Amino acid sequence: GQYRSFLGVQTPEEIFEAVRLVWASLWLPAARSYRRFRGIDESDLAMAVVMMRLVDADLAGVVFTVDPGGREDAVRLEVVEGLGEQLVSGAVTPAAHVVSRSRPRSTLDGTDPILDEVVDTALGVEAWFGSPQDVEWAYDGSRLYLVQARPITTKPAALGDDDGFDTEPAPSTTYTTAGIAEMVPGLLPPLLWTTVGPLLEESFRRLFDRLDVLPDDLSGPHAVVGRFRSRAALNLDLIKRMASDIPGGSGDDLERQYFGRVISEAAPGDRATATRGSGGVRSMLRSVKEIRARAQFAREAEIVIDAVDQVLAARVDIPALPVDELIAYRYRLLDLAGRALAAELAVAAAAAAAYRGIELFLEPRVHPGEAGLWAQRLTSGGMHTCGGHMAFSVCDLTRDSSASDALAASLTTCADHTEIRRELGVTLEGRRLLERMDELLRLGGSAAIFAGPTWSEEQDLVWQMLRQVVRAGTVVCPDCGTTAAECRCGAAHDVVRIGGSDDRARAFSELERRVMRTWSWRASRVLTGQIVDIRKRMLRRMATDAFAFLDRRERSKTAVLRLGGEVRRVHVELGNRLAGLGLIESATDVDFLASAELDQSFAGAGATFEMIARRRRQHDQAAADGALPQVFTGRPRSGEAQQLAGDSFAGWGGSPGRYRGSAHVIHDPAEPMERGEVMVARTTDPSWTPLFLAAGAIVVEEGGPLSHAAIVARELGVPAVLNIPGITKRLEGRATQVTVDGTEGTVTIHASQEAPREKAA
């Protein structure tokens, strides 16, 4: 269905024109996007044109040997009079029949007897291929023709315990939500999954191929990233296998980066891989090939960041586009998104390797456990943070809002964005603030996930953030006498404490005093005859490169989300039009269509109301089932959350500092939180950034040193501890006093609830 076909072509001139158009369809946006998602090389493509005699059909149609609507033991038959092209193109609405596979002959009474033969023949095709089939057919009044058959790739929801889009896991394969839950957080309804899932899968495969570790036996559309109970998870076994194939890499090292510990038994020879070669673990970026790849990753990231800027600067009037142009625009956006996601993953891999290189360089030269802290300090300060751009832009608006008593009153007293907009719309200065906010929301894109809800849809989060900052601006810091909005002394009430390059320079100077001036360091330099201290220059270069790649990773993530916002706006517009035509019951039902069903729906051949309702029920059930376990083998089960006992817990220090305050378990970034509370969450993503401005400290069940929570916390100077599975359940529903030590990576629960809160160190 990716290329063009022409029926009823008769004259030589019409034949030549049709052949040229078929050739040209090789480069349609939809076809190019499909090939890119599937990893098909375009360098030597050619189009073969098949010319054949037309069946002058009296009846034509499609048989689905398993009913997509979800009825068990049923077949769906769609029939039109004349050519089947009318059905495919949507020129006419087909007559639909859902019949039992073991039906009595009377089931199709009142219809042409040939339809019984159509169903029987389609079931024979299914038996031949051994799987459910989508069979196109035509009948010319005397003979039945099978035009084509293809497998049905989406199972009906009623035949399983999901909505038909979940991945069937291998019983012995281990999966993890670590890392991927930050890229594709939360529940993934069909449209979101079938849009972003193929993009992610292809991006991972492209990265592994460029690192020369892509397995030859990789098969299936979701071998790397799967969907389970409507949530995403990574194939941990596959990721570990490929990590072990990278020179100097190991599955153990990968697990430490993801989980802060080794969680599984190593494959034979895996730990040996981590230490082979002279000098211990060798960073993959030290080879000439990988250094060149790193430079290429950087260029590609800058290209897609600039391309996204240009797309959004064009300000396409989405509501004004005809349906066919709107769908074509969507394919063009997805084509760019494939490149953008691949670039994001590539620079993320380069950043992780560069960051790990700093740790490996410092481990034999500093006290045990300090290498990670120094790596954090050498790469923090002045970095762009994904989601932070929205938070910091709001802080810019705060200066104008705080200068006006009327604006400040409107922002701090109104309950939601509807009331705020009504109040601000009364005055000229209020309308100007609204204009600036609307432009900020438009450029912000998707709040958390590519093609997911935009900041405009989640704008209560933004207004809540603005209210918090305006309120904090009236608090006077007891340490320096300035307002909290102006304070930079590091106190807990600080609204935004953003570091800069000076912070990194101070960290390097301190490291130089502590390590590079020691007798052992100087002796080694003398013995190796170094006139210029090569190791010092090497470390500075490593820190500079790691910071640059981390910053580029965050800017790439921001570009992906901004582009995703444009895709989301297209989806919302398509939903409004489908609802207006009565093809779906409400505009929000578009979220429960598959990507391939969007254009089909305008032809009346998309998902039925019954299918959409069933998918929505399965979505609600997945929400009730809760999050996936962080690690699981085979099919995940509900209720597998880890149970914690005791009052002291060790995790991963994600951002240094020590803080004591009241713990507040947050499940959704829209939940209100008081300033100075300790935010406790399972995982975070860019949409959570507003809460970081209010938190005194951060505790997260999942995440590594380069996760969203760690990066943002370090940039804001907020202590953070990551990787304590089960901590949300342990603290749920309790106004518990806790001490968060981001330097040591510990969280301690206090029996007394009255202890004073300590300020961040």
Q: What mean pLDDT, rounded, does the chain reach?
A: 81
48 and 63, same domain (yes or no): no
Q: What is the mean pLDDT of the segment spanning 427-444?
A: 86
Contact criterion met (CB below 8 Å) for 668 and 684: no
Would the CA dihedral through 400, 406, 412, 415 be positive or negative?
negative
Interval 22-41 mean pLDDT: 75
Co-location of 5 and 82 in the same domain: no
Examine the pLDDT at 235 and tell me if it is beyond 90.
Answer: yes
Q: Is residue 459 included in any domain, yes or no?
A: yes
- The CATH code of the domain that includes 135 is 3.30.470.20
Label residue 250 by pLDDT band (50, 70, 90): low
- Of 40 and 473, the structure prediction assigns the larger pLDDT to 40
Residues 658 and 742 in one domain: yes
Find, among 644, 666, 643, 662, the residue nearest to 736 by Cα. Answer: 662
Residue 80 sits at φ, ψ, to 5 deg, of -130, 155
Question: pLDDT class for 493, splitting at 50, 70, 90?
Answer: very low
Share of the chain above pLDDT 70, in %: 80
Q: Give dist(CA 678, CA 444) in Å, integer.
A: 27
Max avg pLDDT among 185-194, 360-369, 515-524: 185-194
pLDDT computed for residue 365 by the predictor: 87
Q: What pLDDT is stored for residue 36 in this prediction?
A: 65
**Which segments of 363-458 does DSSP mark as H helices, in order?**
371-378, 388-403, 405-413, 417-424, 428-444
pLDDT at residue 104 is higher than 70: no
For the stretch 602-626, pLDDT in tens is: 877 778 888 898 899 899 989 988 8
Q: How far is CA 669 from CA 229, 464, 520, in A?
A: 21, 11, 50
Query: 513 pLDDT exceeds 70?
Result: yes
Question: pLDDT tens for residues 683-738?
Answer: 999 888 878 888 999 999 988 888 889 999 998 889 999 989 889 989 987 678 99
**Tokens 């929000």 -> residue:** 588
- Tell me whether residue 446 is in a domain: yes
Residue 670 lies in a domain: yes
Residue 26 exposure: Cα atoms within 13 Å on the Cβ side:
14
Q: Which residue has the higher pLDDT, 152 or 228?
A: 228
| Backbone torsions φ then ψ of 231, nearest 5 degrees | -130, 155
- Residue 278, pLDDT > 50, answer no
Q: Are residues 3 and 65 located together in one domain of the fold?
A: no
In a domain, 107, yes or no: yes
pLDDT-derived band at 15, boundaries 50, 70, 90: very high
376 and 359 Cβ atoms separated by less than 8 Å: no
pLDDT for the residue numbered 86: 53
The whole-number average pLDDT for the span 184-192 is 95
pLDDT in tens, 85-100: 555 544 456 777 888 8
In a domain, 291, yes or no: no
Instruction: Answer yes or no: do 11 and 98 share one domain.
Output: no
Given 472, 493, 508, the domain boundary residue is 472
Residue 443: band (very low, low, confident or very high) from pLDDT cuts 50, 70, 90:
confident
Residue 140 tokens, joined: 């010319």
pLDDT at 452 over 90: yes
Across 559-563, average pLDDT: 95
Q: What is the pLDDT of residue 315?
A: 93
Question: How far apart are the C-alpha atoms of 751 and 623, rounded to whole Å?
Answer: 33
Tokens 């077949």 correspond to 75
Do 99 and 139 lie in a common domain? yes
pTM of the entire predicted model: 0.74
Of 560 and 157, the structure prediction assigns the larger pLDDT to 560
Looking at the fold, whether 33 and 96 belong to one and the same domain comes out as no
- What's the pLDDT at 544? 93
Residue 247 counted as domain residue: no
pLDDT in tens, 309-348: 999 999 999 999 999 899 999 999 999 999 999 999 999 9
Strand order through the sheet with 737-741: 648-650, 746-749, 737-741, 658-665, 678-681, 697-700, 720-722, 652-655
Same domain? 50 vs 64: no
Buried b (16+ CB within 10 A) or exposed e, 120-142: ebbbebbeeeeebbbbbbbbeee
Q: Which residue type, as a one-letter code, is found at position 370?
A: E
DSSP letter, residue 483: B
User: What domain range includes position 427?
Assistant: 388-472
User: Is residue 50 domain-shared with residue 63, that is, in the same domain?
Assistant: no
Report CA 256 to chain centroid distance, whole Å: 22
Q: Give domain status of residue 677, yes or no.
A: yes
User: Residue 229: pLDDT above 70?
Assistant: yes
At residue 691, the pLDDT reads: 85
740 and 684 in a common domain:
yes
**Count of domains observed in the chain:** 4
Is the pLDDT assigned to residue 431 strictly greater than 70? Answer: yes
Side chain identity at residue 703, one-letter code: G
The predicted pLDDT at position 602 comes to 85
Mean pLDDT of 396-423: 76
State which of 152, 187, 214 marks the end of a domain.
Answer: 152
Q: Is beta strand 95-100 parallel, antiparallel or unpaired with respect to 144-151?
A: unpaired
Q: Which of 249, 263, 262, 281 is nearest to 349 (CA)?
A: 249
As given in the structure block, the two tokens for residue 153 are 């790739």
Q: How far apart are the first and last CA of the chain?
A: 61
Whether 38 and 124 map to the same domain: the answer is no
Q: In what order do the strands lie in the sheet with 74-81?
A: 95-100, 74-81, 59-64, 133-139, 144-151
pLDDT at 483: 45
**Per-residue pLDDT at 754:** 43
One domain for residues 652 and 743: yes
The pLDDT value recorded for residue 241 is 84
Domain closes at, from 472, 494, 516: 472
In the structure encoding, which two tokens stand for residue 407, read together? 């604006």
Q: What is the mean pLDDT of residues 511-527?
A: 77
Backbone angles phi, psi at 663, to 5 degrees: -75, 140
On whether residue 657 sits in a domain, the answer given is: yes
State yes or no: pLDDT of 488 exceeds 90.
Answer: no
Cα 559 from Cα 384, distance rounded (Å): 12
| CATH assignment of the domain containing 663 | 3.50.30.10
